[in-house]
Amino acid sequence: MKNAKKYAPLWMPAAALLCVLALFLASPETPAPALESAAATPFPTPRGLRVAVASDTHFDPDHTDKQSDLGEAVYNMEIADAMLHDVKAQGAKLLLLTGDLCNSGKRPKHEALVEKLRAAEAEGLTVYVLPGNHDLAPLKQSEFAALYADFGFAEAYSRDSASLSYCVLRDDVMLLMMDTAGYGVSAIDLPGAPKRADSNAFFTEETLHWAEELLQTAREKDIPVLAAGHYNLLPEISRTENTGYYVENGVRFASLLREYGVKLTLSGHMHLRAVYEEDGLTEQLTECLIAYPTGYTVLDLTPETIRVLPRRVDVERWAAETGQTDPVLRGFDEWQEQGLEAYCRETVEAMTKKNPLKEGEKESATRFFNAVMRAYWDGSLAERRETLRQLEGYDSFFRAAEGYSYGWWLRDLIETASPKLAGFEIDFH
């Protein structure tokens, strides 16, 4: 087994900025239960149309050095394969990729991903993609749409002339696939796109008008609508300029969705799993695929309801079924747990340079941190809130974290954890 990795998970930069989320853990005598391996977890069978949503795949054939300590990221190609395998194994008919498909807007990376998506479609999966902020420049909008023609753009019921937004009608569902990614002015070349001076994500008046006409059509035909984008709509940070999360006119788009009775919108970008709700509109954020816990979102759609479930890619099953010999892939769950544990230990160690703890306190603070992270990612944080507050490491951790963003972040996660992180069901129509 390869040594535990030494790196900050890809969700940490986003985590440090996030104010409203959810997390949790166990007692010092009773170690936090490990996330069960994907293979050991019974997963519900599909109910209605099953749609998988993966985000921030950051696919990168140039970033695969297994000797580096960059964690799951160096397995980005294998994880992409395992994810495609897993969504098919779980009975998903559609896969939505909500942006940051590749690590940069370089054509060869996208071509390599397109090849994989084409193979998945040949086996019966339908894939629709959205651009993220990493996906363009040097690639231009028109080139992106041409590359992914078979993954949404050429199959669209309608395309927006002012952006890479498009709409598909499939299985009596309307998907509004919205281009909400700040990918920079040099990539903007669609004839109807506006000239921009900044790299914020935005909805133009034209795009809002286009979306409203489609929502009107859906209403007239009595078709339920799902919306998706890369940037988020409801978190406060999405409404704050110059954050890298800001969506100009995002509030207006969210209002439009509510006006037409849309219940769920999907996004990524934050690299975290989270659920936001505001005035009847729910937003499900899907985590970065190539970080712990290699998760994606499953939606089960019936005409009446949407069931949202978190799912962890069964990398080990894919590795076994495809004859992979790398021991990391064959023992992926344990490798990930070791990586998370090492990350928690190193973080506590680093913070105690400024805020010293005794050795025993460091140990319990590390166990506390690890337990919170596991509970957050397995969706049980809300349920375990009280148990976590009583852990021996609780006080030690927050003493060590004094003056560090981890302090307020973890406290906020624990206090605001939503039970919906474990999955939930809402009306569709």
In the complex, least distance from residue 1 CB atom to Fe ion, rounded to whole angstroms: 31
With CB under 5 A as the rule, give the number of residues binding Fe ion: 4
175 neighbors 229 (Cβ within 8 angstroms): no
Listing from the earlier edge strand, what are the strands of the sheet with 305-312? 126-130, 94-98, 49-54, 295-301, 305-312, 424-427
**For residue 158, what are the CA distances in angstroms to 104, 169, 214?**
27, 9, 8
Residue nearest to Fe ion (CB): 269
Taking the least distance from each CB to Fe ion, the nearer of 132 and 152 is: 132
> Among 72, 78, 81, 100, which residue sits at the site for Fe ion (rule: CB under 5 A)?
100
248 near Fe ion (CB under 5 A): no
Q: Binder to Fe ion among 269, 273, 312, 420 (CB under 5 A)?
A: 269
Residue 133 engages Fe ion in binding (rule: CB under 5 A)? yes
Q: Which tokens hold the place of 426? A: 């809402």
CB 374 within 8 A of CB 34: yes
Q: Report the nearest approach of Fe ion to the CB of residue 333 (Å).
A: 26
Question: Does 132 participate in binding Fe ion (rule CB under 5 A)?
Answer: yes
Instruction: Between 100 and 337, name the residue whose CB sits nearer to Fe ion.
Output: 100
Span of 97-105, 142-150, 191-199, 378-386 interacting with Fe ion by CB under 5 A: 97-105
Q: Of 243 and 355, which CB lies nearer to Fe ion in the complex structure? A: 243
Q: Which residues pair with 105 in a beta bridge?
A: 138
**DSSP per residue over 317-355, as a string?**
HHHHHTT---HHHHTHHHHHHHHHHHHHHHHHHHHTTTS
In the complex, least distance from residue 113 CB atom to Fe ion, rounded to whole angstroms: 16
Dihedrals φ, ψ of 160, to 5°? -75, 135
Is the preceding omega at residue 327 within 30 degrees of 0, hence cis?
no
Minimum distance, C-beta of residue 25 to Fe ion, in the bound complex (Å): 29
Q: Which is nearer to Fe ion, 133 or 249 (CB)?
A: 133
- Rounded Cα–Cα distance for residues 83 and 57 (Å): 10
- Which residue, 201 or 281, has its beta carbon nearer to Fe ion? 201
- Let me know: does 294 contact 58? Beta carbons within 8 Å: no
Which residue number, 245 or 398, has a Cβ lying nearer to Fe ion? Answer: 245
Minimum CB distance to Fe ion, residue 103 (Å): 11
Residue ranges in contact with Fe ion by CB under 5 A: 100, 132-133, 269
